[in-house]
Amino acid sequence: MAEEAILGFLQNNDEIAHSGYFAAEHNLDHEEVKNVIKSLQAFRYIEAKVLKREFFNLTDEGKKYAAEGSPEFHFFSAVPEEGTISMDDLQRILDPFVFDVGSKQAPKKKWVAMGQQVSRTVQHVEDKVKEMLLQIQQGLELDQESLKSLKYRKLIILTEKWSGYSEVKKGPNYAPERRSLATDLTRENLQNWQELDFKEYNVNAKGQPVDSGHLHPLLKVRKQFKDIFCQMGFEEMPTNNFVESSFWNFDALFQPQQHPARDSHDTFFLKAPSTTRELPEDYVARVKQVHESGGFGSRGYNCEWKREEANKNLLRTHTTAVSSRMLYELAKGPFTPKKYYSIDRVFRNEAVDKTHLAEFHQIEGVVCDRGLTLGDLIGVLQEFFSRLGMSELRFKPAYNPYTEPSMEIFSYHAGLEKWVEIGNSGMFRPEMLRPMGLPEDVRVIAWGLSLERPTMILYECDNIRELFGHKVDLKKVKENPLCRIGIESI
Ligand code: PHE
């Protein structure tokens, strides 16, 4: 509608002087006219110039000045060409309003010098104010500066404002009807090229985004943890068994069989196969012994240790199950110091909420050597966490069945302005290490933390379910940036 009207009108007329009036005359919606103008302009069917104008009327005072001249002009005229005149005399001969306004405006314009006596500083003046007001009366356009001064003196008042209107003329591609452009280089189009208009190439258009795989934030953060462990000389432990026996997950770690964590409320036990097929019998016997009646300086738990309990299969509840297997393997040969790490999945039968899942990842570090002390543990933790950008650490005594002493690790979080718990650690008990067959002076220090927590902080995610599980936000996975943990302090 609007397009036909505009192109049709320009066929017989030089211009559309005002798109607003044009729309009104042709019963068109000006918004639509505006859009059509934009589009026709892009294809250079037309040329459009934005009309920006304000219209004013004279106020009563303005009208008076336009008819009679401005007060400052009358004031100036009353001052003799030569010599002076007193203010009193001026006041007597001039109309009070003219005296009042003129005595302010004339000196401001530097037409007169004021004092008790008034004299001219120039011989001739032009009554610009009157001229400008007459121009406005004739409908002429004035510059912004002049309009501002007249508005300020309340001599004119705004009556109409044009914005969003334009003046339209034919453009270099003008045609009474829009031609449809050929867009594709088909065989037919190429054969008829002389009759066709081809759409210009837009070489600035962006291409389709290339679809590709994306690393999940947990994988990206895991990679950085791996790098830190590797830089510190740690070897990765094999973590490829989600299913573990209670023996390696709990008993080998000197976790009593009555411990609440071994309850099905906290642990997922397997229905099939519900029990493990084999365990190293002589080692099992030593574990049974230390649980029931102690040894290596320990009193043990003084409770019957049941093999059936140890045989039960479960989904490992922590990666320390992997560490216990590794240490047992290590104890078989002549002792060599080792640094091990693992980052993999663990399972806990917990209530799921914004920060807890029944399935998550643990990061674990283990160092074994002769004569290690708590000081070594603190030193290694300082080194490890400072590579993550956390150099201010605090330790709080804690309890784990397999470590003594045990410490929770806290770091000062500058953003949250408080100390937050970042991990758990300790020195493995002799009740755990000695039955494995490790030499008496070998000490093992270890620590663990979750992978999800630092990832959530780095990727500003406050709901773990967006990160992991069936509600994972794939769009976020695709678009998330590469966040670097603070390893610049290395
Ligand atoms: N296994 C502990 C946990 O699940 C972490 C830990 C690892 C503690 C090693 C001490 C030593 O929280």
Cβ of 320 less than 6 Å from ligand 1? yes
**What's the rounded mean pLDDT across residues 466-472?**
86
**What's the rounded mean pLDDT across residues 98-114?**
92
Cβ of 426 less than 6 Å from ligand 1? yes
Give the pLDDT of residue 486: 66
Give the pLDDT of residue 407: 97
Give me the interface pTM, i.e. the ipTM: 0.97
**What's the rounded mean pLDDT across residues 323-343?**
97
**Where do you find CATH 3.30.1370.240 in the chain?**
2-57+156-195
Question: pLDDT, tens digit, for every residue of 268-326?
Answer: 999 999 999 999 999 999 999 999 999 999 999 999 999 999 999 999 999 999 999 99
Q: Does residue 352 surpass a pLDDT of 50?
A: yes
Cβ of 318 less than 6 Å from ligand 1? yes
Question: pLDDT, tens digit, for every residue of 223-245?
Answer: 999 999 999 999 999 999 999 99
**Where do you find CATH 3.30.930.10 in the chain?**
218-489
Atom of ligand 1 nearest to the CA of 406: 10
CATH architecture of 218-489: 2-Layer Sandwich (3.30)
Give the pLDDT of residue 53: 84
- Among protein residues, the one whose CA lies closest to atom 4 of ligand 1: 318
What mean pLDDT is reported for the chain?
Answer: 92
**What's the rounded mean pLDDT across residues 132-152?**
91
Query: Taking the model in full, what pTM does it have?
Result: 0.62
Atom of ligand 1 nearest to the CA of 346: 4
Give the pLDDT of residue 13: 92
Domain 2-57+156-195: give its CATH code: 3.30.1370.240
Give the pLDDT of residue 161: 87
Q: Does residue 455 surpass a pLDDT of 90?
A: no
Q: Does residue 92 surpass a pLDDT of 70?
A: yes
**What's the rounded mean pLDDT across residues 445-473?**
87
**What's the rounded mean pLDDT across residues 438-447?**
97
CA of 319 to the centre of ligand 1 (A): 8
Report percent pLDDT > 70 for the chain.
99
Segment among 20-34, 70-84, 336-350, 458-472 with least mean pLDDT: 458-472
Cβ of 448 less than 6 Å from ligand 1? yes
Cβ of 403 less than 6 Å from ligand 1? yes
CA of 458 to the centre of ligand 1 (A): 23
**What's the rounded mean pLDDT across residues 34-59?**
91
Give the pLDDT of residue 284: 97
Give the pLDDT of residue 356: 86
Cβ of 364 less than 6 Å from ligand 1? yes
Give the pLDDT of residue 36: 93
d(CA 231, CA 254): 32
Give the pLDDT of residue 373: 97
